[in-house]
A = this chain, B = another copy of it.
């Protein structure tokens, strides 16, 4: 008898929830998006992949969506946030490294020489990363990043970096999750760096953050095992590395992928090469007033961050990827902004 009662209550609940669910779906799940092809592409994709009757239905266990971070989920201008962190760390560590005053690239950082810093090579950055991101345990690194995020401010917006996430993209992540998708971050940035705030800021738990990493070494210290961060690159999760990283960490091909630069090209190609319905989107930074406008696709000079080249735009057109215009598709940029129709 108890089982029967349970079954009846459960049925009633399911019926009720189904009705409420439809009501919720009918309401706008993407309030800070203007109507247009970008918003429509997201809604159509979700409708097709979650409808049991659709030939493009995707079972829940395969509903994977991947998101680049810098320039796709949060501001990456004038420098990647993690580069800002590294530069601040150089200043903080300088008293322990008197030799840096005379040694590049540290000398330029300590002198605040922006012209020199703008010309830093990948080798210069690798040296800075090694000096600022290694030599401590994984636990200590998490604490250092957490502390920095709590106090650092973006030079233009004068707000914590974690406030400078794109409200429309947060809505897409929520909407996909509400429809049974798991949202992964697939970033060229540091995996351990993003894991510090991924859950709080994006609702993405550590096991769903794929990123670049340095080698770690297992050691027993005071009878307790620690993983020490070594000044040695282990994996670069960018360009082809994003497709490789997705296969390595997830082992399933995404059904949706979101990027904003050449570093995301292979992730979108890899996603689009799957069968059925796939959603590939690129955020175009064309809003100098509310955020930034940069890159050749805007007819503007190339930059070191988030380059949206003409060749990427051509590939998007050819392959049917959807370009999101921040200026025309988004009513609102940051969570704290007012809406603008």
Residues of A within 8 A of B (CB): 2-3, 5-6, 9-10, 12-13, 16-17, 19-20, 61, 138, 191-192, 195, 205-207, 209, 213, 216-218, 220, 224-225, 227, 240, 243-244, 247-252, 266, 269-270, 273
Nearest opposing residue in chain B for A250, CB measure: B207
Q: Measured between C-beta atoms, what is the minimum distance from A141 to chain B in Å?
A: 11
On whether the beta carbons of A247 and B225 are closer than 8 Å, the reply is no
Contact, CB under 8 Å: A225 / B270: yes
**B5, B13, B249, B273: the one within 8 Å of A225 (CB):** B273
Query: What residues of chain B lie closer than 8 Å to A270, measured between beta carbons?
Result: 218, 225
Q: Separation in Å of the A80 CB from the closest CB of chain B?
A: 21
Contact check: which of B205, B225, B249 meets A207 at CB < 8 Å? Answer: B249
Q: A244-B218, A247-B227, A266-B218 are in contact. Are A252 and B6 (CB under 8 A)?
A: no
Cα of A274 to Cα of B195 in the assembled complex, Å: 18
The answer, among B19, B138, B273, for a CB contact under 8 Å with A2, is B19
7 residue pairs of the A-B complex, CB under 8 angstroms, read: A3-B20, A191-B251, A192-B251, A216-B247, A218-B270, A225-B269, A225-B273
Q: Is the Cβ of A13 less than 8 Å from the Cβ of B13?
A: yes
Residue from the set A138, A217, A249 with the largest chain B CB neighbour count within 10 Å = A249
**Among B16, B138, B205, contact of A61 (Cβ-Cβ < 8 Å):** B205
As for how many copies of this chain the complex holds, the number is 2
Most B-side CB within 10 Å, residue of A61, A220, A247, A248 = A248
Bound-state Cα–Cα, A13 to B224, Å: 46
Q: A61-B205, A216-B244, A251-B207 given as contacts; is B3 within 8 A of A9 (CB)?
A: no
A272→B3 CA distance, assembly (Å): 41
CA distance A217 to B224 in the complex (A): 38
> In angstroms, how far is the closest chain B Cβ from the Cβ of A9?
4
Question: Nearest-CB distance from A255 to chain B (Å)?
Answer: 14
Residues of the B chain whose Cβ atoms lie less than 8 Å from the Cβ of A61: 205
